[in-house]
């Protein structure tokens, strides 16, 4: 699948200037429950929409976390001209921020043109003023025309898939193929597609604990499968009948995207992660997908970035933006691989498993 074409006036400076004419006729208002069908119809037609721009994703964020929905619509000429999924979140120190979107790799505004995009920004700024929010974070997949301060340090990974599942193996670099050969021939790993949360969740919890990261509530993953039954699935890897690795993925516009991945402790020698992602690519091709999105990573997370490069992907900088930061240290985006947060992650790894499973969902809300 090719990169979605640009909406009018967003990449072309001349088009952006023309789009500003008549912008006074645009109006911005909060999205309401009754707007879901129109919202989804707009997102379905927009070339820059991602899986996460759908109203169902916003709804499950609202149902799972204590974040206040503040999504916006811009209208003009009797029709929707743009949408902005948006939530107010609170940090550990109590300060409010706005996110598009929290706990999500992609978000940001979708608009017909630069004028509608600017109207959404002004609407978000009004919400920030009313809520006392000191910053607005836009996790854009594609660059906007807003000209805000860049939020650097994040990359994504995406490439075309081959025409048949059998060709997926050949597209991998030599080092990845060697690991997969070990997984297949020496350890006899097997993969299957399921919706088995009972097998998936312990593997996910083990990986998050090893990473020193609080885990989302179990209900969040159940809601993904329930809200998107045709677009979501779990790939489960077994060794001698025992689940050792799993990944929950979604599909959108012919793109397969792994969202949440887990692996049992002390099974690195099985090369289950390499095997898992090849099996997922093969499954993606088998169901008609044409691209694979390996998802967002922090540049500072060197191990994960290196793994994805070794699978044959190249990093693509993400054009995240931030508006309203004041220079207060509390406005800085926390890097979990640096300073205090790196120390906290090391301490988290030492927690008993049961404590981490109980405490994680209660803490993760503060790290949107």
Please answer whether residues 193 and 329 qualify as being in contact, where contact means their C-beta atoms are separated by less than 8 angstroms.
no
Taking the C-alpha atoms of residue 116 and residue 64, their distance in angstroms, rounded to an integer, is 30
Please answer whether residues 339 and 329 qualify as being in contact, where contact means their C-beta atoms are separated by less than 8 angstroms.
no
Nearest to 219 by CA among 330, 100, 25, 65: 65
Nearest to 227 by CA among 39, 42, 52, 33: 52
Q: Is residue 269 part of a domain?
A: yes
Residue 349 has what pLDDT?
81
Whether 327 shows a pLDDT value over 50: the answer reads no
Reported as a pLDDT band with limits 50, 70 and 90, residue 288 is: very high
Residue range(s) defining the domain that contains residue 225: 156-318+349-362
Domain-terminating residue out of 114, 147, 180: 147
Q: Is residue 30 part of a domain?
A: yes
Please answer whether residues 308 and 286 qualify as being in contact, where contact means their C-beta atoms are separated by less than 8 angstroms.
no
Reported as a pLDDT band with limits 50, 70 and 90, residue 340 is: low
Domain-terminating residue out of 147, 182, 203: 147
Q: Is residue 337 part of a domain?
A: no
DSSP symbols for 185-242: IIS--EEEEE--HHHHHHHHHHHHHHHT-PPPPHHHHHHHHHH-TTTEEEEEEEETTE
193 and 84, same structural domain?
no
Taking the C-alpha atoms of residue 186 and residue 272, their distance in angstroms, rounded to an integer, is 12
Q: Is residue 287 part of a domain?
A: yes
- How many domains, in total, are found in the chain? 2
Check whether the bond before 101 is cis (ω within 30° of 0). yes
162 and 97, same structural domain?
no
pLDDT-wise least confident of 17-21, 88-92, 324-328: 17-21
* Mean pLDDT of the region 119-135: 95
Q: Is residue 357 part of a domain?
A: yes
166 and 140, same structural domain?
no
pLDDT-wise least confident of 53-57, 263-267, 346-350: 346-350
245 and 209, same structural domain?
yes
* Mean pLDDT of the region 310-314: 94
139 and 180, same structural domain?
no
115: CATH: 3.40.630.30
Whether 21 shows a pLDDT value over 60: the answer reads no
190 and 46, same structural domain?
no
What pLDDT, in 10s, does the model give residues 211-258? 888 999 999 999 999 999 999 999 999 999 999 999 999 999 999 999
Q: Where are the alpha helices (DSSP H) in the chain?
A: 13-19, 36-45, 55-64, 114-131, 174-181, 197-211, 218-227, 272-286, 302-310, 339-349, 353-363
Taking the C-alpha atoms of residue 250 and residue 233, their distance in angstroms, rounded to an integer, is 7
Whether 187 shows a pLDDT value over 80: the answer reads yes
287 and 168, same structural domain?
yes
Please answer whether residues 153 and 305 qualify as being in contact, where contact means their C-beta atoms are separated by less than 8 angstroms.
no
What pLDDT, in 10s, does the model give residues 216-227? 999 999 999 999
235 and 114, same structural domain?
no
Whether 12 shows a pLDDT value over 80: the answer reads no
Q: 275: which 2 tokens?
A: 């095997």
227 and 87, same structural domain?
no
18 and 129, same structural domain?
yes
Q: Is residue 196 part of a domain?
A: yes
175 and 83, same structural domain?
no
pTM given for the model: 0.88
Q: Is residue 208 part of a domain?
A: yes
* Token pair 């660059």: residue: 143
Domain-terminating residue out of 130, 147, 164: 147
Q: Is residue 54 part of a domain?
A: yes
237 and 209, same structural domain?
yes
Say which residues have a Cβ less than 8 Å from residue 31's Cβ, sequence separation at least 6: 39, 69, 71, 72, 73, 83
């Amino acid at each position: 699948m090719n990169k979605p074409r640009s909406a009018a006036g967003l990449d072309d400076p001349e088009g952006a200037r023309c789009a500003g004419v008549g912008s006074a006729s645009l109006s911005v208002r909060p999205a309401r429950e009754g707007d879901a069908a129109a919202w989804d119809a707009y997102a379905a037609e927009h070339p820059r929409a991602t899986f996460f721009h759908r109203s169902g994703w916003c709804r499950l964020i609202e149902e799972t976390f204590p974040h206040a929905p503040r999504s916006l619509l811009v209208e003009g000429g009797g029709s929707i001209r743009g949408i902005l999924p948006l939530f107010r979140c609170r940090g550990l120190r109590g300060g409010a921020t706005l996110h598009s979107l929290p706990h999500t790799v992609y978000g940001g505004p979708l608009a017909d043109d630069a004028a509608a995009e600017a109207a959404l920004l002004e609407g978000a700024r009004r919400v920030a003023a009313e809520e006392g929010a000191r910053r607005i974070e836009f996790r854009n997949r594609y660059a906007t025309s807003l000209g805000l301060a860049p939020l650097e340090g994040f990359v994504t990974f995406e490439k075309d898939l081959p025409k048949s599942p059998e060709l997926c193996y050949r597209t991998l670099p030599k080092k990845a193929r060697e690991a997969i050969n070990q997984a297949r021939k020496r350890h006899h790993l097997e993969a299957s597609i399921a919706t088995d949360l009972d097998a998936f969740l312990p593997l996910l919890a083990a990986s998050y604990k090893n990473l020193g990261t609080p885990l989302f509530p179990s209900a969040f993953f159940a809601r993904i499968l329930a809200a998107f039954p045709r677009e979501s699935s779990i790939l489960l890897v077994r060794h001698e009948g025992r689940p050792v690795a799993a990944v929950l993925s979604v599909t959108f516009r012919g793109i397969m995207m792994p969202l949440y991945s887990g692996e049992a402790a002390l099974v690195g020698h099985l090369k289950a992660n390499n095997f898992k992602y090849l099996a997922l690519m093969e499954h993606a091709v088998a169901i008609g997908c044409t691209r694979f999105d390996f998802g967002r990573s922090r540049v500072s997370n060197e191990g994960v970035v290196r793994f994805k490069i070794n699978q044959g992907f190249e990093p693509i900088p993400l054009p995240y933006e931030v508006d309203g930061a004041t220079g207060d240290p509390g406005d800085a985006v926390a890097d979990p691989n640096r300073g205090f947060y790196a120390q906290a992650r090391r301490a988290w790894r030492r927690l008993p498993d049961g404590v981490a499973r109980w405490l994680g969902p209660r803490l993760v809300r503060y790290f949107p």
